[in-house]
Amino acid sequence: MGRAVVFLDRDGVLNDPVHDPYDGRPEAPLRAADVVLARGAIEGVRALNEAGIPLVVVSNQPGAAKGKVTSGELRGVHERVRSLLAAEGADIADWRYCFHHPDASDPQLRGACECRKPAPGMLLDAAADHDIDLSRSWIVGDTDSDVGAGRAAGVGTVLIGHPGSRHRRTDEWIADAQADDLQEAAAFLLLDGELRSPGHA
């Protein structure tokens, strides 16, 4: 039997979305200096760390594909999120990103892929690499695509209602549970120090 993990979206779960000058609405930070950790992120990660639950980030990051930023700037944002969490003793076991987009200006990143959520590719690849039992695992995200990816991969789903990602949520996908932030999500996921079974959400 593989191990149970909690998959996490990044923007809207670990850090706040910020105003995107290209789209005119809150989206992923485009520069490291814009990164602010989301409310409850540190506490939520720590709680799951203390319970011995591995955490795997799975995040769509099409900024470079759309020509908004360079791949180097995307790496800078990633490093800033990672370092802010690490400085508070909050550990993420693995980080996985999809850099593709169907309408990418970069032809190498354009078109359909298996990793862009709501496709489950990032979760399935992580499961294969880390011996993860998806039937015992969860995803915590803030958008319809997170819930869709979780359903497609066969994991439990928790939807965080971050106000900055409201435009990415509809009634199309209903999560197994809802929370205001990652701290509240972690409190739901942990029962007597153990990860709740998705079948008993």
- Known catalytic residue at 146: no
- Selecting among 9, 16, 142, 146, the annotated active-site residue is 9
- Known catalytic residue at 11: yes
* Contact call for residues 38 and 81 (beta carbons, < 8 A): no
Tell me the CB-side half-sphere exposure of residue 74, using CA atoms within 13 A: 19
Q: Dig out the tokens for 81 from the structure.
A: 């999120």
Three-class DSSP labels, 49-80: HHCCCCEEEEEECCCCCCCCCCHHHHHHHHHH
* Contact call for residues 8 and 138 (beta carbons, < 8 A): no
Tell me phi and psi for residue 178, to 5 degrees: -130, 155
Residue among 93, 84, 9, 98 at smallest CA distance from 55: 93
- Selecting among 11, 16, 144, 146, the annotated active-site residue is 11
Active-site residue list: 9, 11
